[in-house]
Structure 1
Amino acid sequence: MNVRAAPNAKARVLGTLPPVWVDKASGSWIRIRVEITASDAGWFRIRNARDDEDLTGQPPRPTFAGEGWVSGKKLVVKPQARVGRARPDAQAPVWLKLDDEQMFDSDVMVSASSLAACHGPWAQVEYVDAKLPAEERKALNIAPAARAGLPPGRFRLWVDKICGSQETVCDGL
């Protein structure tokens, strides 16, 4: 993934981040970890990118270490929340509530998502219906307002309980 000097696809490339690391034996996918410091129209300023050698069991790969911009279409967020809201506020209307055994960090939800915006400890995530299995899609009761202004087959929600670790739970539940 290219890291750019400004929040657009034509900006100068400052460096790159390596692709997802896949453990073929277990099927685990380990992503580069980044800190997000700002957002601008679907682009995110990152810093402190690093390989998670504790999870891969491999030496860290060469990774851009500075600060720059990446597209939210390439970022994944694994929120340990069960509720998606209208705004980044715990009192905002609920636009989607998952059942007790499901969270937004499930492989099914993550594979259908991309990061759209952030605000403090909240992330706005965009989902693509077609990337969700039909049985999952049928079970979701998504508020029509979550689809407003988006292309057909997409919806956006604000979620919290974002955990920095890819493979463990946070104490924010």
Structure 2
Amino acid sequence: MKKLILASGSPRRKQLLEQAQLQFSISTSTVDETITETLTPNQVVEQLAFKKANDVFKRFDDSIIIGADTIVSINGTILGKPTNEEESFRMLQQLSGNDHDVYTGVAIVTKEKTVLFHERTVVSFWELTAKEIEDYIASGEPFDKAGSYGIQGLGALFVKKINGDYFNVVGLPLARTVRELKNFQNCSS
């Protein structure tokens, strides 16, 4: 049986794979996550997911490696993880009262084949006051999350509605990922 390895240190992705009752280990990728600016959001997440999975695959080439990357995009601008409070405030101000897209790219890599795909979910935010944004930033939650919020935490209070896969916004389109994994022989689950 091939071992399943998640090429991510994300506690949210770990939790989602555990929710699916998959047996896996974690080996964090160390690749540069710089975004190629000429790519579309779906190309960016697929490229970064592949880079992460391929990096770990080089160390564990007898395994099934899952890499993933999530970004937020609004009006053509990609929002990654904020680097400081000011950047977080600006991002949340941009999202306030607007719709935005959340893209997660997934790469599944083995010796035999590679599968790349992405999911897109549209998220609508309520209008946010400066105080709501400041209080949220003070919670510390935004700093390791694309777009500066976590839908699975306090950030849920900003969400008016979503159209698409909720788990995609959390960081891994779970049902699609598990379905794709079924196409890989000897996946331990």
User: As a proportion of its length, which structure holds more strand?
Assistant: 1
Same fold? TM cut 0.5: no
Structure 2 length-normalised TM:
0.29
TM-score (normalised: structure 1): 0.31
Q: Which has the higher contact order (CA 8 A, sep 6+)?
A: 2
